[in-house]
Each structure stands twice: as C-alpha cells, then as structure tokens.
C-alpha cells in the first residue's frame, strides 16, 4: 500500500497532507486577523520594520486590492464559486503534489476571506509593505496564500506543458539508423 507514486502523493495521503497545509494557512490567516482586529483600530499603524513593514487594520469591502468597494454580496458569491471550483480542481490533481499544495493554498485563502465576509461584511487586511513613502496595497495572510498558490499553479502548469512538448518531440522523432552516424 504505497502512499507515494513516482509522480507524488496519491490517494488519502495527498488529501491529508494538502488538507493539513490548507488548515494551517487558514488558521494562520484567521489567527492573525483576530489579533489585529482585537489590538488595532482602523488607520493606526504599528511600525514593525522601519521604512518597510507596518501593521494597520484596514477593512476591505471590495475585491483584490480593494477594487470595486461596497459590493460584499458579489464578492461572497464569487468566493463561494471559487471555493467550489478549487475543490473540483483539487480532485483533478492526483499524483501532482506541488500542484495539490498550490491548490490547497488557494482554497485556504479563499475560505479565509470568505469567512471574513460572512462574519464582518468585509475582509480584514493588515499587512502594509512599503519602501519609504511608497506603499503597496494592504493585504492579509489569505491574500498572500491566494497569490502564492495562483503563481505556483501558473508556473507548474507552464513546466508541465514544456515537459509534454519535450516528450512529444522525442517520441515523434524517427529512430536513428546506422547511416545517421
């Protein structure tokens, strides 16, 4: 009963590992949001690393990077659809450990932000990265999970396609004959 194939984790072991990874990310997201919401108020910045990293409570009623604010129902529905699609995607990744973990990160992030939308009507953002006076959008652990998961799936898909192309080229090449040497 091997739990690993040459391609990666399979069966129940894959679900357990990816599920534990998703749960850890989800709990980290919700735990950090709880602490920030408990100890900060909107607009108050706590400098963690001078000129680079602040904590600031920033309720986000919009989508990614605060786009389309004040549309909580739309984003709740989009999040539910995303969670369903990610669940389906996960079932299609048998034997692809890295892709399974990337999908688990996406799922954890989507669930983390969905829970916020149902609990508060907005997403709790609090990580403020900046270089001097130039600030990036405020985000949270769920957003980071979504970003890293999506980028990882993109890169892994690209690598997989390149491998398929190489295999197709080598399998369609005519066999060498003694006169080719």
Q: Based on the residue annotation, tell me whether 143 is a catalytic residue of this protein.
A: yes
Catalytic residue among 125, 128, 160, 180: 125
* Per-residue tokens: 109: 């992030």
| Contact criterion met (CB below 8 Å) for 7 and 95 | yes
Write down the catalytic residue from 29, 116, 128, 143: 143
Helix segments in 97-177, DSSP class H:
97-120, 141-172
Handedness of CA 95, 99, 101, 107 (dihedral sign): negative
Tokens of 5: 């194939």
Catalytic annotation present for 29: no
Catalytic residues: 125, 143
């Amino acid at each position: 009963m091997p739990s690993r194939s040459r391609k990666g984790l399979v069966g129940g072991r894959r679900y357990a590992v990816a599920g534990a990874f998703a749960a850890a990310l989800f709990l980290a997201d919700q735990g950090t949001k709880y602490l920030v919401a408990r100890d900060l108020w909107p607009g108050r910045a706590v400098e963690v690393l001078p000129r680079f990293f602040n904590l600031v409570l920033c309720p986000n009623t919009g989508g990614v990077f605060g786009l389309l604010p004040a549309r909580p129902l739309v984003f709740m529905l989009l999040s539910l659809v995303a969670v369903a699609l990610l669940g389906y995607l996960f079932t299609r990744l048998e034997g692809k450990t890295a892709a399974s973990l990337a999908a688990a990160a996406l799922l954890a992030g989507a669930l983390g932000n969905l829970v916020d939308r149902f609990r508060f009507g907005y997403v709790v953002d609090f990580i403020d990265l900046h270089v001097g006076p130039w600030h990036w959008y405020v985000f949270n652990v769920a957003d980071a999970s979504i970003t890293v998961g999506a980028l990882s799936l993109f890169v892994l898909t690209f690598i997989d396609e390149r491998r398929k192309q190489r295999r197709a080229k080598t399998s369609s090449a005519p066999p060498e004959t003694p006169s080719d040497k």
